[in-house]
Amino acid sequence: MSTQPALEVVNVGADACLKIWSHGLPFPTVRWHFHPEIEIHLITATSGRSFVGDYIGRFEPDNLVIVGPNVPHNWLSDVPPGTVIDERCIVLQFTSAFASGCVSLFPELGFLRTLLDSAGRGLEFTPATGAAARPIMRRMLGSSGARRIELFFSLVALLGESTPPQPLAGARHQPNPDLYLKQPLNHVLAQIAANPSSDLRESDLAALSGYSPSTFSRAFRRKTGTSFVRYLHAIRLNRACELLINEDMLVADICYDVGFNNLANFNRQFRSHKGMSPSEFRRRHRENTTRAARPDGAATTRLHPVQPVR
């Protein structure tokens, strides 16, 4: 494991309060990392070792942990190399500003401030709480809009009524994002996150990091688990998915807005990452949202949520 954690770009989005997604194994973001957002992390399959700040422990299914802003963390499953797991965990991420706003608006959520103030050490709940949280978080994966916020408050209520969680990292452990970001590639990842639609060139970012192009390419792959081009494409495609879901822009306009300069290449990359065309992705998502609201409880078309790049 790298001494310094990598920066994860969560990108909750300007038109959303939180992001929830799931992933299996293998997955390139399973690494030592940090981010400014608060994270609620639920293990749904496998067991292994957990790392939160200076804590090292064991996890099993229904392991539920809240990780505070900028706290380095990782979960490493005990599975043979090459093992394929469809879903290893469900991840809920939101900003401190959103959490503070909830507490300010609803005095009944005062306990949430106390809980999150302690999350700088990482907080682990009992397996029983994790098991109770699992169906709520799974429903959140298939919901959107006000329904997702309603389920978020159901989850918060469950945590507030549960057995008090155990802190993981030592009392003296203090996250140090400024130190983490002094690492050359973390600075590069921050630049990509801030300017994903710009004309970003690997050679320019190599110079920014102080590496030669060949050294930069190897170091970037070690840190992110993928190449610079694939990483940048994934960042742009995540943004495209947000626009397809939330805006009525033409697909061609979205293509250029997120940084692709060729519509055919955009369609090809989108299909490669999502298994369908941009138009089909938009149609299915809207169909899912419409059917989910039907009073007869008709089956919904399930889509995998957009996954952020770590």
| pLDDT tens for each residue of 26-74 | 887 788 899 999 999 999 999 999 999 999 999 999 999 999 999 999 9
Residue 293 lies in a domain: no
List the chain residues with pLDDT less than 70: 1-3, 13-15, 289-310
Residue 295 lies in a domain: no
Give the per-residue pLDDT at 291: 61
Give the per-residue pLDDT at 294: 53
- Together in a domain, 156 and 30: yes
Q: Select from 167, 196, 219 the last residue of a domain.
A: 167
Kindly report each contact of residues 146-150 with a partner whose C-beta sits within 8 Å and lies 24 or more positions away, as own/partner.
Answer: 147/292, 148/18, 148/20, 149/17
Residue 48 lies in a domain: yes
Q: Are strands 33-34 and 6-7 parallel, antiparallel or unpaired?
A: parallel
Residue 238 lies in a domain: yes
Q: Are strands 48-52 and 55-59 parallel, antiparallel or unpaired?
A: antiparallel
> Which among 289, 276, 291 is positioned nearest to 245, based on CA atoms?
289
Residue 30 lies in a domain: yes
Task: Specify the DSSP class assigned to residue 81.
Answer: T
Q: Quick one: three-class SS letters along 168-233?
A: CCCCCCCCCHHHHHCCHHHHHHHHHHHCCCCCCCHHHHHHHHCCCHHHHHHHHHHHHCCCHHHHHH
Domain holding 244, by residue range, is 177-288
Give the per-residue pLDDT at 159: 96
Q: Are strands 64-67 and 123-124 parallel, antiparallel or unpaired?
A: antiparallel
Q: Select from 134, 167, 200 the last residue of a domain.
A: 167
Q: Which residues contact 300 (CB under 8 A, 6 or more apart)?
A: 142, 288, 291, 292
Residue 124 lies in a domain: yes
Residue 36 lies in a domain: yes
What CATH number should be reported for the domain holding residue 282? 1.10.10.60
- Together in a domain, 128 and 19: yes
pTM for this predicted structure? 0.76
- Together in a domain, 40 and 87: yes
Greatest extent of the chain over all pairs of C-alpha atoms, in Å = 61
